[in-house]
Amino acid sequence: MFELGIAFAVLGMACASFLAGAGSAIGVGTAGQAAAGVVTEDPTKFGKVLVLQLLPGTQGIYGLLIAFITMSQIGLLGGSPDMTLAKGIAYLAACLPVGIVGLVSGIHQGKTSVAAINLFARRPDQFGKSLIFPAMVETYAILGFLVSLLAVSSIPGLNI
Amino acid sequence: MAVLQMERIHLLAMKRDRKKILELLQRRGIVEIQDAGGRDDVFDKMDTSATRTLLEKNADTAAQAVEIVDAATEHKKPFLNFLEGRTPVAPKAHDDFSERRATVLRRAQGVVQHQRELEEAKAEILRAEAQLEALVPWMNLPIPQNFAGTRKTAVFVGTLENEVSRAEILEKLAAAAPQLDAVDVEVVHTSKEQTCFYMVVLRRDAAMAEEALRSVGFARPPSPSRHMPQEQQARLQKRIDDAQEKIKKAAEGIAASAEHRADFLFLQDHMTMRAEKYGVIEQLVQSKHVFVLDGYVPARVAGALKEELEQHFECAVQLIDAPQDDSVPVLLQNNGFSRPSEVIVASYSLPGKADVDPTTIMSFFYYIMFGLMFSDAMYGLLMAGVCGGLLLAKKNMEFNWQQNLKLFFWCGVSTLFWGVMFGSYFGDLLTVVSDGFFGNPIIIKPVWLDPLAQPMTLLMSCLGIGIIHLSVGMGLKIATLAKARAYADIVYDVVFPLLVVYPLIIILMGSEMFAGLAGFQLALPAVVNTICMVVAVVGVLGVLLFGGRESRNWVKRLLKGAYACYNVIAGWLGDILSYSRLLALGLATGVIASVVNSMGLMVGGGMGLLGLLPFVLIFLFGHALNFGINVLGAYVHSNRLEYVEFFGKFYEGGGRPFEPFGIHTKYYKIEEETQNV
């Protein structure tokens, strides 16, 4: 049964990085198409639309962070990867918030970024405000990340 | 610190001084010109749009001339060019230039003309070369391509598709027109794609022959020449030579003008300035001999300007305190520490008539929160160092760039501070290197705490910062309401909600749940709890009764009050939790930095000191990436916390920026202009 524990933990780690990463990939990809369109019209806007394009990229990073912390805690990066089944499942559960919220919020933040890029293309003086709309979506990714982080970092202390 | 007091300026002066007065105002750059009102029997307005269009066109010509000259001489823009700022010139130099501007403009137009000729000649060469190529198969043709025949004969010159022999052509023709006898065909050139030939028939058979040719797919050359092919070839060659000569001449002309590049730049600025001046003239009302100018000027400099104008010109200047409404433009004034963050306020919205200037207070929190989220001592040092260095090295930098760099300088300093607090120097670089390569781990202890080891403590501290930030926002709300003398609203909109929120926070901090989260128990005496409960109930009642006070109907009012209660509690809960992003982004910087360091060690770790090489490569790439991502994150989320959480508590915005009539040039600035407001 001990082997299954680590398998679940690795599954959790993988979920954190691939779900959140996929969300970011979709988001950054969608925003990138709009950004490229703006740059064809006005190449001087490159720097700022790039910033707007990158906004949905953070979910992937949060996912990576959780994955990395999980990896180092379960001993995949050196150490003894032994754990109970319950702990393994706990890791999987702890990784889910950042993964799933990352996926969904990444996609939607990408769409909001597209809208923000359009806003900026038409009203270049409103760059400050255009940054805020995608950042609103990110709040929930941050909350998911926090929950995952606090959960993952408190699992080793659990007596299960 | 404050929104500058504006005064309305009315100026009545002689028309003959108009040019001088406007130039003075333009150089001072402290007056925003307003439309001076309608026309009547005496006063009228001037339509200057034609002049402005011409001036803008001239500015464009100058810009084109610079572009052309730069392309020809391969002029490269120096690195960090944008930080150099505009070249200062004395007012005299500008006046002198006015005398030369016609010459310079002609020269610029010459450059543009040369460029046009050059492009035309290049196109001409391409055309001639294409024709030459098309002529090659016809070189053996003994007659001109468009030769139609003699009195008795008709001649057809043209091509058939594919490779066909003379016999095959004759066969095809015989099949198509059996009555056609006396036909002679001569093939001049064959290739896989086409066969070039000419055919001679009797003139009376011409129509029949043409019909027959068409049916077998005959095509005439695309642009038949009336010259013999050899001659045509020579003519085309000459056209190419001529065009090349033209290109040479045009290029020489352009190169000769390269030394006037600076003049062209000046010309562009000069024309831009004049266009702006003519835009202002349109806003004046003028009679036969006098004109009236209307505008806003900051009160601080208004007196001096009035004095200067009255001293130099025959004019009447009237200054009136500007009314307190949204039509008055807004200019902020802050000290050197807070001024850079004016841009953050401006990109949300400048203070409206009811607002106080939030810049100073906002800037402190901005720097603190940015640092908390970026949170690496070395990143902060790097950022502050680069920005500070550039500020010292490039004194002539434009104002806006200066402010941007100052903003990031202070953010860098704060980042350095928090990095030291958290013990993060390029993440755990020193530990990784000393342990992995030298087998002797050195650990730099954080001055305050290690965020990864005690995330809960840090989370609580971040929320604490949030509570302080929001409370300061409520304080500014009091200031705003006090400014409007709405003292009752202070009690209803600030005091009651805070009476709900603060006791609840204290009760929460004393609870078991908080102790479990934070890892320590706040031993609050039971009496504190009771007092808090009572106060909170008072607050809730206050909000309930007065939250919907604009409704006359009591049922409606109580319902609105209940909704206001919900909003206070849910709103504050959401706002405070939102500050958890300080922890999340702060952790992100540190953890990614550690990931980069560990990856470097994984690759280079086993190779002894030689492993430092791949380690350094991974280090540079990884940390550059981490730096970029986290600067962006810290910037965006500092803005968000200020805009949404902080400004949401008190700020209305909607002010109109002060846009003075001035010198908005690209390359040169006139030195007097430096007395900026």
pLDDT tops 60 at residue A2: no
SS (H, E, C) B161-221: ECCCCHHHHHHHHHHHCCCCCCEEEEEEEECCCEEEEEEEEEHHHHHHHHHHHHHCCCECC
Q: Give whole-number Cα distances, B158 to B148, B177, B579, in Å.
A: 12, 18, 83
Q: Cβ–Cβ of B632/A51 closer than 8 Å?
A: yes
A147 touches chain B (CB under 8 A): no
From B635, which residue of chain A is nearest by alpha-carbon distance?
A131
Provide the pLDDT for residue B177.
84
| B374 vs B585: CA distance, rounded Å | 7
State yes or no: pLDDT of B114 exceeds 60.
yes
Please, are residues B25 and B296 in contact by the beta-carbon 8 Å criterion?
A: no
**Mean per-residue pLDDT, B18-46:** 86
Element holding B637 (H helix, E strand): helix B612-640
Q: Give yes or no for residue B560 having a pLDDT over 80.
A: yes
Interface touch B639/A128, C-beta < 8 Å: yes
Residue B592 to residue A77, Cβ atoms within 8 A: no
| B496-507 tens-digit pLDDT | 999 999 999 888
Burial class (CB in 10 A: 0-12, 13-18, 19+), B518: middle
Residue A4, pLDDT above cutoff 80: yes
Residue B645 backbone class (left: φ over 0; alpha: ψ -120 to 50; beta: rest): alpha
Identify the bridge partners of residue B8 per DSSP, sorted by sequence position. B296, B320
The class (CATH top level) of A2-157 is mainly alpha
Percent of chain B exceeding pLDDT 70 equals 98
Would you say residue B362 has pLDDT above 70?
yes
Three-point CA angle B433, B439, B443, nearest 5°: 55
Q: Are A145 and B583 in contact, with CB atoms under 8 Å apart?
A: no
pLDDT digits (tens, 9 = 90+) for B34-61: 887 777 788 888 888 999 999 999 999 9
Residue B265 and residue B667 in contact, taking contact as beta carbons nearer than 8 Å: yes
* Prediction pTM value: 0.83
Residue A64 in contact with partner chain B when CB distance is under 8 A: yes
Helix (H, G, I), strand (E, B) or coil at A144: helix
Instruction: Identify the residue whose tokens are 């084109």.
Output: B64
Using an 8 Å CB-CB cutoff, list chain B residues near A129.
347-348
Q: Do B639 and A142 touch (CB under 8 A)?
A: no
Res B674: pLDDT: 44
CA pair distance B560, B575, nearest whole angstrom: 21
Looking at the predicted structure, is the pLDDT value of residue A56 above 50?
A: yes
Q: What is the average per-residue pLDDT within B334-360?
A: 89
CB pairs under 8 A between A and B: 69
Which pLDDT value is given to residue B388?
A: 95
Identify which of B580, B585, B595 has the shortest CB distance to residue A68: B595
CATH topology of domain B146-220: Alpha-Beta Plaits (3.30.70)
Q: Which has more pLDDT, A116 or A80?
A: A116
Interval B581-630: pLDDT, tens: 999 899 889 888 988 998 888 888 777 778 888 899 999 999 999 999 89
Smallest CA–CA distance from B453 into chain A, residue: A153
- Nearest-CA distance B89 → chain A (Å): 28
Burial B21-58 (b: 16+ CB within 10 A, else e): bbbbbbbbbbbbbbebeeeeeebebeebeebbeebeeb
Question: If you compute the radius of gyration of chain A from its CA atoms, what whole number of angstroms results?
Answer: 19
CB atoms B591 and A65 under 8 Å? yes
Chain A residues lying within 8 Å of B578, measured CB to CB: 139
Name the residue with higher pLDDT: A67 or B675.
A67
Q: What is the pLDDT of residue A35?
A: 94
Nearest chain A residue (CA) to B595:
A68
CB of A33 less than 8 A from some CB of B: no
CA distances from B62 to B78, B110, B563 (A): 21, 10, 63
Residue B468 in 3-state DSSP? helix
Q: Note whether A128 contacts B347, CB cutoff 8 Å.
A: yes
Average pLDDT over residues B162-170: 88
pLDDT top residue among B46 and B519: B46
Q: What is the mean pLDDT of residues B373-392?
A: 95
CB atoms within 10 A of CB B511: 15
Among the listed residues B342, B359, B340, B338, the one whose alpha carbon sits nearest the alpha carbon of residue B406: B340
Mean pLDDT in residue range B416-422: 95
CB of A62 less than 8 A from some CB of B: yes
Is the pLDDT reported for residue B83 higher than 60?
A: yes
- Can you read off the two tokens belonging to residue B458? 């840090």
Among A68, A153, A155, residue whose Cα is nearest residue B626: A68
Phi, psi of A37 (to 5 degrees): -60, -45
Lowest model confidence (mean pLDDT) among A31-35, B355-359, B467-471: B355-359
Q: Any idea which residue has 């059996």 for tokens? A: B178
Which helix (H) or strand (E) element contains residue A65? helix A58-74
How far is it, in rounded angstroms, from Cα B511 to Cα B498?
Answer: 20
Q: Nearest-CA distance from B652 to chain A in Å?
A: 15
Whether residue A135 and residue B632 make contact (CB cut-off 8 A), yes or no, is no
State whether B640 and A51 contact (CB < 8 Å). Answer: no
- Judged by CB atoms closer than 8 Å, whether chains meet at A54 and B592 is answered as no
How would you class B390 by CB atoms within 10 Å of its CB: exposed for 0-12, middle for 13-18, buried for 19 or more? middle
C-beta separation of B363 from B337 below 8 A: yes
Minimum Cα–Cα distance from B632: chain A residue: A51
- For residue B519, the model assigns a pLDDT of 67
B255-280 pLDDT tens trace? 888 888 889 999 999 999 999 999 99
d(CA A39, CA B202): 66
Average pLDDT over residues B7-30: 90
Q: How many other CB atoms sit within 10 Å of the CB of residue B92?
A: 10
Task: Grade residue B634 by pLDDT with cuts at 50, 70 and 90.
Answer: very high
What would the mean pLDDT of B540-558 be, rounded to a whole number? 89
Residue A120 in contact with partner chain B when CB distance is under 8 A: no
> What's the confidence (pLDDT) of residue B655?
87
Query: How much is the pLDDT for B673?
Result: 46
The CATH architecture that domain B1-45+283-329+659-677 belongs to is 2-Layer Sandwich (3.30)
Three-state DSSP at A34 gives helix
Specify the pLDDT at position A75.
81
Pairwise pLDDT comparison (B116 vs A127), residue with the higher score: B116
Q: Check residue B412 and give its pLDDT.
A: 96
Domain-wise residue ranges, chain A? 2-157
A69–B591: do the CB atoms touch at under 8 Å? yes
A11 touches chain B (CB under 8 A): no
Is residue B676 very low, low, confident or very high in pLDDT (cuts 50, 70, 90)? Answer: very low
| Helix (H) and strand (E) counts in chain B | 22, 14
